[in-house]
Amino acid sequence: MVVRAFLDWFWNPDVWLPPGIDWKDIVPNEKIRYPDQGDLLYPIPFALVLICVRYLIEKMILYPWGQFLGLKKVNKKTLSLPSNEVLEKAYKNKKSKFTHKEMESLVKRTDMDLRQVERWLRKRSGLDKPSTLTKFSESGWRCICYLASTIIGTYILWDKPYFWDINHCWYDYPHHSVPNDVWWYYAFGSSFYWSLLITQTFDVKRKDFWGMFGHHVVTITLLAFSWFCNLTRIGTIVLLLHDCADAFLEAAKMCKYSKYDKLGDVIFSIFVVIWIVTRLGIFPIYILNSTLIEAPKIIPMFAAYYIFNGMLTILLCLHVFWTYFICKVAFKALASGKVEDTRSSSESANDDSESEDSVENSSIANHNKNHHVKTS
């Protein structure tokens, strides 16, 4: 009884549907195929299948391709790390940087000098850092998916009247039939973002981890909301609009990782133009203007639609947030002559060795200074 009462409250048609419309009014029939809420369960197992496909493509295509371009995995032989149970245990248990006292304790417990302990910990950290080949493969997979989504979405929407006149998203609402091609486009888009959400904790860590996490959650929720309320027409346009630029970003990263800097600069420039046009131009001027201003003139508003518009607004805020990073990369590229991924919070072990040597030398210098003061 409690569950039944909760479901009746949650699926209140006054919340999810326009005034005067009940769930019985949008039951699928021979003329109109309305969205089925149960269809939203399919993307979860589809996402697991996508993760398996990703693993195969990375191992069979992207890794060999990256190696052909000269990228290598972290060479553990060059990091020649002797086993040390004390340091290994300390490394795994430590969540932040070691303090001076902790370093002195490790020196005493291992019969090693400070330089040796610093070098061991630096090399051990290097073993955990993702290689450039790994980042190349991750970007390659995302590039393939974003490109596929863009091509499929454009092909599916090209002959749809609402793709060329957005007001058709509201005429005769909510009695819109969902064609098979739109059903599969939704399934693919939802599955892809579910897979990104699942694998985010295993992929290379980025500085905007929580921003990306929020983006995936909002995107999945938007797709679900638009499906529940049969707002699939506007939903497909939003999905296509958000995937078309990201393929160029991932391609630019792949060029950067494989040292094709000039080609990467060109592709990144294309990405910046497409990003600004779609995310800060078409999205607020065309999409949000339609949902916030034009739609109320054609259909009566209802609670779920306000929530839907709220999430679109959050998405716009995320666009502005990421535009800051993009402009940062663009200005840095103009100054230095090459593109760098400023969102990466970690680079390959070899890339970090120089900076870590500086940290090591600094720590040794501080240790010697402190020791001199104590001796004096």
Residue 81 has pLDDT above 90, yes or no: no
Residue 52 has pLDDT above 80, yes or no: yes
Q: Determine how many CB atoms are found less than 10 A away from the CB of residue 256.
A: 23
Residue 372 has pLDDT above 70, yes or no: no
pLDDT at residue 353, rounded to an integer: 39
Give the pLDDT confidence of 320-337 residue by residue, as tens digits: 988 988 888 778 777 765
Segment 220-227 shows an average pLDDT of 90
Lowest-confidence region among 8-12, 50-54, 126-130, 372-376: 372-376
Give the pLDDT confidence of 270-300 residue by residue, as tens digits: 999 999 999 999 999 999 999 999 999 999 9
Measured CA to CA in angstroms, residue 217 lies from 224, 303, 315, 316 at distances of: 11, 20, 11, 14
pLDDT at residue 208, rounded to an integer: 66
The model carries a pTM of 0.77
| Number of DSSP helices (H) and strands (E) in the chain, helices first | 18, 0
Sign of the C-alpha dihedral, residues 78, 83, 86, 89? Answer: positive
Q: Determine how many CB atoms are found less than 10 A away from the CB of residue 73.
A: 15
Helices (H), 229-290: 232-243, 246-257, 261-277, 289
pLDDT at residue 110, rounded to an integer: 83
Helix, strand or coil, per DSSP, at residue 344: strand
What is the chain's mean pLDDT, rounded?
Answer: 82
Q: Where are the beta strands (DSSP E) in the chain?
A: none
pLDDT band at 346; cut points 50, 70, 90:
very low
Measured CA to CA in angstroms, residue 85 lies from 76, 110, 116, 117 at distances of: 18, 9, 15, 13
Give the pLDDT confidence of 155-178 residue by residue, as tens digits: 999 999 999 999 999 999 999 999
- Distance CA(190)–CA(203), nearest Å, equals 19
Please name which of 185, 172, 145 lies closest in space to residue 58, comparing C-alpha atoms. Answer: 145
Residue 128 has pLDDT above 80, yes or no: no
Residue 205 has pLDDT above 50, yes or no: yes
Segment 345-368 shows an average pLDDT of 39
8-state DSSP, 202: T
pLDDT band at 363; cut points 50, 70, 90:
very low
Give the pLDDT confidence of 310-321 residue by residue, as tens digits: 989 988 998 898
Residue 347 has pLDDT above 50, yes or no: no
Residue 111 has pLDDT above 60, yes or no: yes
pLDDT band at 219; cut points 50, 70, 90:
confident
- Distance CA(343)–CA(96), nearest Å, equals 21
Contact (CB, 8 A) for 241 and 282: yes
Lowest-confidence region among 20-29, 56-65, 272-281: 20-29
8-state DSSP, 229: T
Residue 364 has pLDDT above 50, yes or no: no
pLDDT band at 86; cut points 50, 70, 90:
confident
- Distance CA(211)–CA(342), nearest Å, equals 14
pLDDT at residue 354, rounded to an integer: 37
pLDDT at residue 57, rounded to an integer: 96
